Structure 1
Amino acid sequence: MSSRLCLGALLVPLLLAAPALAADAAAPTTAAPQPPSLTVVSANRREIVSQVVLTGTLSPRETVMVGADVDGLRIEELLVDEGDLVKRGDVLARLATDLVDVDLARAETQIARAEAGITQAGALVDEAASAATEAGTALQRTRSLNEKGIVGQDILDTRVSAAAAANARLASARQGVALAEADRASAEAERRQLALRRSKAEIKAPTDGLVLARVARLGAVVSTAGGGLFEIARDALVELDAEVSESALGALDVGQVAVVTAADGSDVEGRVRLVSPKVDPATRLGRVKIALPPSPGLRTGAFARAVVETKRSTGVVLPRTAVVADGAKASVQVVADGIVKTRPVTLGIAAGSDVEILTGVDEGESVVSLAGTFVRDGDRVTPVPAAPALTAEAAR
C-alpha cells in the first residue's frame, strides 16, 4: 500500500507540468523587426510646361487724340459715342459753318473785284502803250527835222518831254496791272484758307479704331488749344501692360504665346510684344506688354491675368520636394530593393511643384518623396507609394 502512494505522488507533478511543456514547444520564434516605412514617388515620363504668370492692366496699344483744327466754331452735330468702332475718314462731329460761309462769300466778291481791276488796268496799259508809241514816233520825226534845221530846239524838247511822260504813264499802267493781280492772288489765297477752314468743320477719324472717350459737347465752341475732343484706340487694339519680377524677366521673350484671362472670365490668346530692357530699381519689377487681338471682352483699364508659356519638354518628372539642391548641384534618394541610394541628377525645366530630371533617374524608379529625411545611403527601408493626392499633384 505504501508503495502505491509513493508512485502516485511522483506522477501528479509530472502530469501538471506536461501542458506547460507542450505550450512552450508550440510557441513560435519571435519575428525580426521590419525596416522603417518611407513614402516614395515613381519617376514618370511626361510633358512638362514652364510658365510665367503675369498680372496687369488692359490698355490701348496706341491712343490717338482727335481735336479741332479751327478756332471759334460751334459744335452742331455729334455722330459717334464712346464704344463705337470707326473707320478712317468717318465724320465724328460737324461744326457750324455760317460765319465761314459769310467770309467765303466776301472773299469771292474780292476776287471778282480784283479781276475787274485787272481788266481795267489792262485797258489803261493798252491806252498808255499806244500813247507812248505815238509820242516816240513824233520824237523821232522831230529829231530828224531838227537835224535839218527845219524845227527849233524848243519843239524837240517838247517832243522829248511828251515821249517821257507817255512812257511813264505806260509804266504806271503796268504797275496797276501787277497790283490788281496781287489783289486777286490775295483774295484767292483768302478764299482757299476759308474753304480749308470750312472743310475742317467736319472732324474726321484719322484712323480705324475704337472710340474710348468723347469730350465734345453740343453747342461748345472749339479751340485748337483746348485739347482733344475724341480719344481713339488705334485699330481697336488692346494690350496687357503687366509687371513681372526680375527673376522671371529673363525667361520671357518677344513672340511667346500668352493666354490672357479678362475680368469676365473669358480667355484671349496673345503674344508677348515687348519685354522691357530695364528693371525698376525701387520695385525690382520689369514691364511686359502682351499684344491682343480685338475682343469685346477686353476693356481698357480693367485688370487681367496672363500665363506665358516659356518652355515645353517631355522627360522624367519628379516633385520638387524629392530633389535636394545645393547651388549648381542636385541629388535625389532612389530606393531599389528596399535600399536607399543617393544619386546626383541634372535638372531641366521647373514648372510649379514639378521639375524635369535630365540625367540620374530612369523612368519607373522609386524616389524618396521628401528628400533630406533621416535616411542615408545604404539604409534599408520599406517603400510606401505616395498617396493618390500627391501623385495627382505631381502629374500636374
Structure 2
Amino acid sequence: MLRSVRFALAASVALAAPLAPAFAAETAAPVAAPAPPNISVLPAQPREIVATLSVTGTLTPRETVTVGTDVEGLRVRELLVDEGDEVKAGQVLARLETDIVDVNLARSASQVARAEAAITQARALVAEAEPTVVEAEASLKRTRSLSEKGIVGQDILDAKVSAAAAATARLASARQSVALAEADLAATRAERSELELRRSKAEIKAPTDGLVLRRAAQLGQVVSAAGGALFEIARDGLIELDADVSETALGRLRKGESAQVRVAGGSRVSGEVRLVSPRVDQASRLGRVRIALPRDPALRVGAFARAIVETARTTGVAVPRTAVNTGPKGDFVQIVSDGTVETRAVETGIATGNIVEIRSGLKPGETVVAVAGTFVRDGDKVTPVPAEVLETAEAAR
C-alpha cells in the first residue's frame, strides 16, 4: 500500500516537471498600469468680453405737450390735423366758431367811438372854461382894487368873487369829464383787446414741433378751460423706452450706454441710456430707466419693447463660467500641466452669458478643466481631452 502511494506521487512529479517552466514564464509577465482618467479641458483664450443687461418696458414720449384752450363757450368749427401727423410750432390745429366774438367786437368798436367822442366833447368844455376863468379872475382883481379905494361897493366885489369861483368850478368839472371819458375809453379798449385775444385763440395752434399722439377735439364740441386737453403732442416727435429695472441691476447702468432695442412686431433700433432714476420704488423695489431712441415711424407709443444695454466692454483672458468655482478662499480654476491637476486662485471680472473674465491668476493658453471642482482634486493625474473633441463625439452619437 505504501509502495503504491509513493509510485503515484513520483508519477505526478514526473508529469508536472515538463509544465513548470511554462507556468513560471506566464506568472512572471508584467501587468500594465491603468491609464489616468480622461478629463475635459480647454485653453484659456484672450477675447473681447461685453457685459449686457436686458430690460423691458413701454414706448412713451420723452415729453408730452397738452394743447387746450382757455376760451369758453365756442364750438369747434374745423379740425386740421389728426393723430399721427407731424406738426410745426405755430401750426393751426383747429379753428373755433367766432360769430359771437365778432358781434361783441362790433359792439366794442361803437363803444370806443362813443368814448372818444366823449373825450373830445369834454376837452371842448375845458377849452371853453379856461378863458372864462382867466376873465373872471382878472375882473375880480380889478374890482378888488377899486373896492380898496372905495370906488365900488362890497356887493359888487362879492358878485365878482362868486363869478370867479363858478368859472373855476366849471373848469374843474370839465377837466374831470375829460378824465372820466379817458377812463371809459381805456376800459372799452381793454374789453376790445380781450375780445381780440379771444378771437385770436379761436385758432388753436401747436406750441412746439412734434407728433400728434391724441386728438380729443370733435367737430361741434363746445370747448372750455375745464374740458381738458384737445390734443396731445410728443415734443419734437421723440419717443423713448421707459423701463423698470430691479434695484440690484440699477447700479450697473450709466447714462450714455448704448442699447439695442427690439419693439414688439420685430422692429429693431439703436438707442442709448438717457436717464437712470435716482430713486427706487419702496413697494416694487424697481427703478426707472429711460432709453432715448431715434425718430422712426415704426415706433408706436404704448408698444412693448425689450432692450439689451451694454454695461461694460473689455479684452482679457476668458474661460467658461463652469471652469470657475468658489471655495472658502475665493474663486479658483483647475489647470492641467503635464497631466497633473493644479488648483489656482484667480480674480474674476466681467461675466456675461457663459463667459467669465479672469483678471489675474491665469495666463492665455493655459489648459483649464472645463468643469472645476467636480471630478478631480489638486495633484490628480489625468488624461486631458479637448472639450471640442468631446462635443464632436457627443454630437456623433
Q: Give the residue type in structure 2 aligned to 1:378.
A: G
Q: What's 2:91 paired with?
A: 90
Q: Note the C-alpha offset of 1:246.
A: 2.1
Residue 227 of structure 2 aligns to a residue in which SS? Answer: coil
Verify: 1:308 aligned to 2:283, yes or no. Answer: no
Q: Note the C-alpha offset of 1:70.
A: 0.8
Q: What's 1:196 paired with?
A: 197
Contact in 2 for aligned 1:264/1:297 (Cα 8 Å): no
Q: What's 1:137 paired with?
A: 138
Contact in 2 for aligned 1:346/1:360 (Cα 8 Å): yes
Residue 50 of structure 1 aligns to a residue in which SS? Answer: strand
Q: What's 1:103 paired with?
A: 104
Contact in 1 for aligned 2:241/2:290 (Cα 8 Å): yes
Residue 84 of structure 2 aligns to a residue in which SS? Answer: coil
Contact in 2 for aligned 1:89/1:206 (Cα 8 Å): yes
Give the stretch that moved more between structures: 302-311 or 355-364: 355-364
Q: Note the C-alpha offset of 1:320.
A: 0.7
Contact in 2 for aligned 1:52/1:308 (Cα 8 Å): yes
Q: What's 1:38 paired with?
A: 39
Q: Give the residue type in structure 2 aligned to 1:196.
A: L
Q: Give the residue type in structure 2 aligned to 1:188.
A: R
Task: Tell me the number of residue pairs that the alignment of Structure 1 and Structure 2 aligns.
Answer: 376
Q: Give the residue type in structure 1 aligned to 2:34.
A: P
> For residues 197 and 329 of structure 2, what CA distance do their matches in structure 1 show?
72
When residues 262 and 95 of structure 1 are mapped into structure 2, their CA distance, relative to the original with a 3 A threshold, is same
Residue 270 of structure 1 aligns to a residue in which SS? Answer: strand
> For residues 276 and 46 of structure 1, what CA distance do their matches in structure 2 show?
33
Q: What's 2:117 paired with?
A: 116
Contact in 1 for aligned 2:58/2:303 (Cα 8 Å): yes
When residues 206 and 328 of structure 1 are mapped into structure 2, their CA distance, relative to the original with a 3 A threshold, is farther
Q: Give the residue type in structure 2 aligned to 1:263.
A: A
Q: Note the C-alpha offset of 1:69.
A: 2.2
Root-mean-square deviation (CA), in Å? 2.3
Q: What's 1:58 paired with?
A: 59
> For residues 85 and 154 of structure 2, what CA distance do their matches in structure 1 show?
92
> For residues 93 and 317 of structure 1, what CA distance do their matches in structure 2 show?
62
Contact in 1 for aligned 2:115/2:182 (Cα 8 Å): yes
Give the stretch that moved more between structures: 361-370 or 97-106: 361-370
Give the stretch that moved more between structures: 295-304 or 273-282: 273-282
Q: What's 1:280 paired with?
A: 281
> For residues 389 and 64 of structure 1, what CA distance do their matches in structure 2 show?
62
Q: What's 1:154 paired with?
A: 155
Q: What's 1:72 paired with?
A: 73
Residue 216 of structure 1 aligns to a residue in which SS? Answer: coil
When residues 386 and 49 of structure 1 are mapped into structure 2, their CA distance, relative to the original with a 3 A threshold, is same
Residue 121 of structure 1 aligns to a residue in which SS? Answer: helix
> For residues 195 and 91 of structure 1, what CA distance do their matches in structure 2 show?
17
Verify: 1:240 aligned to 2:241, yes or no. Answer: yes
Q: Note the C-alpha offset of 1:333.
A: 0.7
Q: What's 1:127 paired with?
A: 128
When residues 114 and 282 of structure 1 are mapped into structure 2, their CA distance, relative to the original with a 3 A threshold, is closer
When residues 230 and 336 of structure 1 are mapped into structure 2, their CA distance, relative to the original with a 3 A threshold, is same
* 1:315-330 matches, cutoff 5 A: 315-326=316-327, 329-330=330-331
When residues 390 and 363 of structure 1 are mapped into structure 2, their CA distance, relative to the original with a 3 A threshold, is farther
When residues 328 and 355 of structure 1 are mapped into structure 2, their CA distance, relative to the original with a 3 A threshold, is farther
- The runs of at least 4 consecutive aligned structure 1 residues that moved more than 6 Å come to 388-391
TM-score under structure 1 length normalisation: 0.90
Q: What's 1:6 paired with?
A: none
Q: Give the residue type in structure 2 aligned to 1:352.
A: G
Q: What's 2:295 paired with?
A: 294
Give the stretch that moved more between structures: 358-367 or 317-326: 358-367
Provide the identity percentage.
65
Contact in 2 for aligned 1:260/1:269 (Cα 8 Å): yes
Q: What's 1:226 paired with?
A: 227
Q: Give the residue type in structure 1 aligned to 2:350.
A: I
Q: Note the C-alpha offset of 1:390.
A: 6.5
Q: Give the residue type in structure 1 aligned to 2:58.
A: T
Residue 232 of structure 2 aligns to a residue in which SS? Answer: strand
Q: Note the C-alpha offset of 1:327.
A: 6.8
Q: Give the residue type in structure 1 aligned to 2:52.
A: Q
When residues 162 and 260 of structure 1 are mapped into structure 2, their CA distance, relative to the original with a 3 A threshold, is same
Q: What's 1:5 paired with?
A: none
When residues 293 and 327 of structure 1 are mapped into structure 2, their CA distance, relative to the original with a 3 A threshold, is farther
TM-score under structure 2 length normalisation: 0.89
Q: What's 2:395 paired with?
A: none
Contact in 1 for aligned 2:45/2:319 (Cα 8 Å): yes
Q: What's 1:359 paired with?
A: 360
Q: Note the C-alpha offset of 1:344.
A: 0.7
> For residues 111 and 150 of structure 2, what CA distance do their matches in structure 1 show?
57
Contact in 2 for aligned 1:75/1:95 (Cα 8 Å): yes
Question: Where in structure 1 are there 5+ consecutive unaligned residues?
Answer: 1-9, 392-396
Q: Give the residue type in structure 2 aligned to 1:335.
A: V
Give the stretch that moved more between structures: 316-325 or 291-300: 291-300
Q: Note the C-alpha offset of 1:389.
A: 9.1
Contact in 1 for aligned 2:40/2:390 (Cα 8 Å): no
Verify: 1:265 aligned to 2:266, yes or no. Answer: yes
Q: Note the C-alpha offset of 1:279.
A: 2.3
> For residues 60 and 348 of structure 2, what CA distance do their matches in structure 1 show?
38
Q: Note the C-alpha offset of 1:285.
A: 2.2
Q: Give the residue type in structure 2 aligned to 1:346.
A: E
Contact in 1 for aligned 2:341/2:380 (Cα 8 Å): yes
> For residues 284 and 339 of structure 2, what CA distance do their matches in structure 1 show?
50
When residues 389 and 169 of structure 1 are mapped into structure 2, their CA distance, relative to the original with a 3 A threshold, is farther
Q: Note the C-alpha offset of 1:310.
A: 1.1
